[in-house]
Structure 1
Amino acid sequence: DLGQLRNVEEVDVDGLYLRLTALRESIEELDIAVSIGTSYQQQLAQAREQQAVDSAEEQPGSLLDSGLDFFGSIFVWREWDDTPDIAQPSRELVTVKQTVNLMLEQSQLSLLTRRWTVYQQNLQRARDLLQSHGAASEQAVSQILSELDNLLAGDLPAELPDISQSLRMVRQLNFRPPASVDGAPQ
C-alpha cells in the first residue's frame, strides 16, 4: 500500500485552483448580453436589407406607395438615430452565467477533495454550456473556452489507492492490550 501511495503523481492543486479562480472572475466580467446585442444588430441589418429588396421589387405605382406618400405629406416620418440597446440581459443568459460560475466553483471543491472525475465532469459541463450560449466569435468567450480545454487536457492521477486494510491493521496494533513480561495479561 505504501508503494502505491508513493507512485501517485503529485498534482499542483494550488495552481489549478488559482486558474479556476481566474476563470470565475473572467466569467463574472463576461458580458454575455453583448452576443445578444450583436445578434440583434445583425438581424436588424438583415431585416433592413430585406425591406430594401422588397421595396425595389414593388411596382412604383402600387397602392401602398401612394398611401405612404399621402401619409408622408401629413405626418413627419422619423428614423431612429441609432438602434435601441438591450436594457437588460435575458434571465436565461444570467442563469447561464451563474450556472457556469457554479460549475467552476464545484470544480474547485472537487479539486481540493481530489475527486478528479467530478472535477473533469464539472469542467466539461461548464465548457459545453458556455459554448452553446456564448458567442464563440467573441474573444473573451474563446479565451475562456481555450483555458477550459487546457484544464480538461491536463493529466490528472487516478483516484488514490485504497489503504483501508492497512489502516485497519494499524488500529488493531494500537488498541491491543499490552502483554506482561511473563506472558500473563495484566
Structure 2
Amino acid sequence: MAEESETPKILEELSKSNAAKPVSQTSRKQKNARRRVAIIVILFVPLLGGVLFLGYQQQSLTSRLATLSDENQQLTQSLSVQSGQLVQLRENLLALPEPVRVDDSVLRELEDSLGAEIQRLRQQLADLEIEAVTTESEPKFSWKMQEAGYLLRMANQKLQLEADPASAIVLLEQADTALSGSENSNVFAARQSIAADLVRLKNIEQVDREEIFIRLGNLAAQADTLDLIGSMRGNFPNRRASDSQPVEIDMNADGFIGQSLEFLESVFVWRKWEETTEVMLAPGQDSLIKQNLRLFLEQSQLALLMRDTELYQRSLRESLAWLQRYAMIDSESGQNIVSGISELSVISINPDLPDLGQSLDLVNQIK
C-alpha cells in the first residue's frame, strides 16, 4: 500500500520535469536569436555609414564637376574673345600707314643734357658718400666741441654763482677730456687756457664753510663759561683777606710815629695797579655782555652764509674787542675763545675766483 501511494507522486514529478524542459529550450533559442540580430545590426551600421559617406562624396564630386564644366566653358568663351581681339589687332597693324620720319635732333640734345645732369648728380653723390665716410671716421668733432662748451659754461656758473671751486675743477677736467677726444689740432690754445685755469683754481685755498660755521657756533656756546671782570672784582676781598697778615703791635717800638705807621700798614693794604682800570659792571650786566658776544659770533655766521667778507671780519673784530674789554682773557676759557676768533679772522671766506670767459671764447672759435 505504501508503494501505491508513492507512485503518483513520482509520476507527478516526472511530468513537471518534462514540462520544464521545453520552456528552457525555448528561452535558449530566443537568446541565440537576439544575439544574431545584435551581431547583424552591429555589422550593418558601419556598412550603412560607409554607403552614406560614399553617396555624399559622389554628390560632392558631381557638383564639383559641374562647377569645373562651367568654368571651362567660361574660359573657352574668353579664349575665343581674346582670339578675336588678336585677329583684330593684326588687321589694325597691317592697316597702319608707313611711319613718318621725325627730326630727333632735339630729342638727342635733350638726351645729352639729361646724361650730363645724371653724371653731375652721380659725381655729387660720390662726393657726399666720401664726405659721409670722412665724417664717420672723425670722433664726432662738433659734438665734442658742444660738450666742451657746455662743461665750461657749467664750471663758470659754479664759480660765479655758487663759489664752488671743487666742482669747477671737475667740470674743467671733463671739458679738457672732451677736447682731447676730438683729435683736432685746433684745440691746443683752448686746452692751454683750460690748463692755466685749472692751475689757478687748484692754488686757491679751499674754504670749508661748514667747519667755520660749526666753530663759530662752538665759540658762541662757550660764551656762558667766560669769567668777566666783575667776577674778578667780586673775588678781590677774599684775595685781600688771604694776603693780609695778623697785626702784632710791638709795644717796644721806638716812638709813637713808628707804632702808628706799623698799625696803619697792618690795617690797610696798599696795591699798585698794573693795568688801566676797566669798566665797572653793574649787577646783572654779565648776562647782557655774554649775550652781546653771542650776537657778534652769530652775525659772523650770517656773514659766512652771505659770503660777505667785510661783515665777517668786522663781526670778529668786534667780538675780540668785546672780549678784551669785559672778559678775563687770561683765563683758560678766555684764551680758547680769543685764539679761536683769531684763527677764524685770518681765513678768507670768499677768495677771488678766476673767470673762465677766455677759455669759453677759444672753444667757441674752434671750427
Under TM normalisation by the shorter chain, which class is it? 0.5 to 0.7
Q: Does residue 1:125 correspond to 2:318, yes or no? A: yes
Alpha-carbon distance in 2 for matches of 1:128, 1:101: 13
CA distance in 2, matches of 1:114, 1:161: 17
**1:19 maps to which residue?**
215
| Structure index of larger Rg | 2
CA distance in 1, matches of 2:340, 2:299: 17
The aligned counterpart of 1:38 is 232
Partner SS state of residue 150, structure 1: helix
Deviates more, 1:94-103 or 1:152-161: 152-161
TM-score, normalised relative to structure 2: 0.31
Deviation at 1:117, TM superposition (A): 1.1
- 1:112-156 CA deviation, whole Å, 9 max, x = no partner? 011011011101101110121111221011111010010012233
Q: Which among 289, 298, 301 is matched to residue 105 of structure 1?
A: 298
Once the two structures are superposed, residues 82-108 of structure 1 have per-residue CA deviations (whole angstroms, 9 ceiling, x without a partner) of xxxxxxx83332221111100111110
Contact 1:32 1:93 in 2 (8 A): no
Q: Partner of 1:169 in structure 2?
A: none
Post-superposition offset of 1:24:
1.1
Matched residue type, 1:32: D
CA distance, structure 1, for counterparts of residue 239 and residue 226 of structure 2: 22
- Mapped partners of 1:23, 1:31: distance in 2: 11
- 8 Å CA contact 1:96–1:130 kept in 2: the answer is no
- 1:153 matched to which residue of 2? 346
Secondary structure of residue in 2 paired with 1:156: coil
Distance 1:161 1:125 in 2: 32
So what's the TM-score if we normalise by structure 1?
A: 0.56
Q: In structure 2, how many angstroms separate the alpha carbons of the residues matched to 1:95 and 1:44?
A: 26
SS state of the match for residue 112, structure 1? helix
CA spacing shift, 1:159–1:118, aligned 2, 3 Å: farther
Confirm or deny: 8 A CA contact 1:103 1:125 kept in the other structure: yes
Q: Aligned partners of 1:111 and 1:49: how far apart in 2? A: 49
Q: Which residue of 1 aligns with 2:91?
A: none
Matched residue type, 2:220: R
Q: Identity across aligned pairs (percent)?
A: 23
Equivalent residue number for residue 181 of structure 1: none
In structure 1, the residue matched to 2:26 is none
2:239 maps to a residue whose letter is A
Contact 2:226–2:334, Cα closer than 8 Å, also in 1: no
Q: Contact 2:303–2:309 (CA<8 Å) still a contact in 1?
A: yes
Q: Given the superposition, is the C-alpha separation of residues 58 and 93 from structure 1 closer, same or farther in structure 2, using an over 3 Å criterion?
A: farther
Q: Could you say what secondary structure the match of 2:235 adopts?
A: helix
Provide closer, same or farther for how the CA distance between residues 110 and 149 of structure 1 changes in structure 2, counting only shifts above 3 A.
same
1:142 aligns with 2:335: yes
